[in-house]
Amino acid sequence: MAEVLIAANGVEKIFRTGAIEVAALRWVDLAIGAGEFMAIVGPSGSGKTTLLNLIGALDVPTGGRIEVFGRDLGELSRQARAELRLQSLGFVFQAYNLVPVLSARENVEFVLELQGMAAAERKVRAEQTLAELGLAELADRRPNEMSGGQQQRVAVARAVASRPSLVLADEPTANLDSDNAQALLQMMRRLRDESGMTFVFSTHDPLVVSYASRVVTLRDGQVLSDEAKEAER
């Protein structure tokens, strides 16, 4: 395996509501190397989104240890985790999480601005990324003026525009037709090949699985299988 970016050892995540406990993840061991194009699959409720949230420093494990870029997330402050997310991670959420009062271009620029990129450079970067996803004509539209699939692609553009080391994508093709889904996956794999970016997907989509070079299957919060394969496309 290439340089290890993510290492999970005995990771558990338990959610508590009053006296009720739900174990979303149980004793997960996983290592993810730089440049991987990996799919996490499994039925609803298997722990896929929870695992992405832990890898992305949006949450911390109840037990065990998870390291990202060699840093133990459980030992980082909330501010340190936020800085890690800003500088090194890109996210694609199921709910898009676009800023409703901003245009597509402004949504893509938002993270670049927080990272300190100059205005002229971030405008060019945002427009180029939107164009790669077939959204050039929608650059000035706000989210409520776009379809769900268009919002999904804007969310992807925002996630990859800064060329982060790691992109985490939760069901990135869920609202896309097959042509747009395929174009999206081809663009992501090109970024992996050209920039060395690492992609980890949570998905039910067989198309995403066909592009992945590694498939991890979760069931009931545990790793059921972990298979490397040659991408089909």
Q: Where are the domains of the chain?
A: 4-228
Burial of 47 (0-12, 13-18, 19+ CB in 10 A): buried
Q: Using CA atoms, how far apart are residues 184 and 190, in angstroms rounded to an integer?
A: 10
Distance CA 200, CA 182 (A): 16
Spell out the per-residue pLDDT of the chain, length 233, in tens: 568 889 999 999 999 888 888 899 999 999 999 999 999 999 988 999 999 999 999 999 999 999 999 999 989 999 999 999 999 999 988 878 899 999 999 999 999 999 999 999 999 999 999 998 889 999 999 999 999 889 988 999 999 999 999 999 999 998 888 988 998 899 899 989 988 899 999 999 999 999 999 999 999 999 999 999 765 55
Q: Which CATH number fits domain 4-228: 3.30.450.30, 3.90.226.10, 3.40.50.1100, 3.40.50.300?
A: 3.40.50.300
| Longest distance between any two alpha carbons in the chain, whole Å | 54
Q: Any idea what DSSP says for residue 150?
A: H
Q: What is the pLDDT of residue 225?
A: 95
Please tell me whether the overall predicted TM-score, pTM, comes out greater than 0.85 for this model: yes
Residue given tokens 């927080």 in the structure block:
114
**63-68 and 37-41 beta bridge pairing:** unpaired
Residues 6 or more apart in contact with residue 66 via CB below 8 angstroms: 6, 7, 8, 9, 11, 54, 55, 60, 72, 73, 74
Displacement of CA 119 from its chain's centroid (Å): 25
